[in-house]
Amino acid sequence: MSRCSGARSPTRPASSPTCPKHAAAPTPSTWSRSSSAARSAPPWRESAMRPSAGPVSAPCRRCWPSPDWRCCPSPAATTGGTAPRYPPEPQDFPEPSVNTTIARRSPMTMPAMPAAVMRFFTASQSGDADSWADTFATDGIFHDPVGQPPIVGRPAIREFIASVLPNFDPFLGLTPREAHTVGHSVAVSWTGAAVTRTGIPVNWSGINVYDLDDNGLIREARAYFNRAIFQAQLDR
């Protein structure tokens, strides 16, 4: 079946009407492919140089059976309007609204996690030592990484974070990739990125395991990553 209504047969009756577009259109020589404007444009641009079509139910004598029958409107346009562009061009598709864009992209930004764990990562990306430390309980414990002496207490955690951040410009933070929550325990795989003040890029990755208290704050966080790989990038 053609885009216009009716079967696409080899011939068209001589009495087929002329569509509104061609009834008032210039002579073929003004827009045929022999013209300089048409020769310099792709075939689908030709239709853009022609007058807009009106509502018709089938290709007219001058539209069919040549490839230019597509310039006639589709059956959906028979009640009014003009033919759709063929093929469609980018401007035919409006950009999604800001709210739609956010709704589509937000789920891909971070996996679903308890609020304190979510803030742990967002604070790392903003480089806010106070907000980062505030995700811990007052007596929270931070193993960064596991195998190093733990940092105990929110004030000590804040001091530790504040001592690390100035070594980078920028500190791009940790980006969670996958999260698994069971009760008050959360395991999150992540990647980290930063640039030293001397311009050296640093990338590392690991898994954090969080235990939350009854208030939803981090009671203990254990970071599993290879510190030697991290340090080797700093020593280049």
- CATH number for position 120: 3.10.450.50
Total domains in the fold of the chain:
2
CB atoms within 10 A of CB 44: 13
Judge whether residue 135 has pLDDT over 90.
yes
What's the mean pLDDT when you consider all of the chain?
74
Residue 97: pLDDT band (50, 70, 90) is very low
The answer as to whether 134 is a domain residue is yes
Tell me, yes or no, whether 216 and 183 share the same domain: yes
Residue 153 zone, left/alpha/beta (φ > 0; ψ -120 to 50; rest): left
* pLDDT value at 62 more than 60: no
Q: Are residues 129 and 226 in the same domain?
A: yes
Who wins on pLDDT, 1 or 151?
151
Residues 144 and 206 in one domain: yes
Phi–psi pair at 107, nearest 5 degrees: -60, -25
Domain assignment present for residue 3? The answer is: no
31 belongs to a structural domain: yes
Within this chain, do residues 78 and 156 fall inside the same structural domain, yes or no? no
SS3 100: helix
pLDDT at 202 over 60: yes
Q: Which of 92, 121, 148 is the last residue of a domain?
A: 92
pLDDT of residue 169: 94
* Distances in whole angstroms, Cα of residue 165 to Cα of each of 24, 37, 54, 83, 157: 71, 61, 65, 59, 13
pTM: 0.56
Same domain, 37 and 141: no
- Is the domain of 25 the same as that of 67? yes
Query: Do 58 and 167 share a domain, yes or no?
Result: no
45 and 133 in a common domain: no
Is 42 part of a structural domain of the chain? Answer: yes
Same domain, 65 and 159: no
Task: Give the residue numbers spanning the domain of 40.
Answer: 20-92
Q: Which residues contact 79 (CB under 8 A, 6 or more apart)?
A: 55
List, in sequence order, the alpha helices (H) in 20-142.
Answer: 20-23, 36-39, 43-46, 98-109, 115-126, 129-133
On the 0-12 / 13-18 / 19+ scale of CB atoms within 10 A, 131 is middle
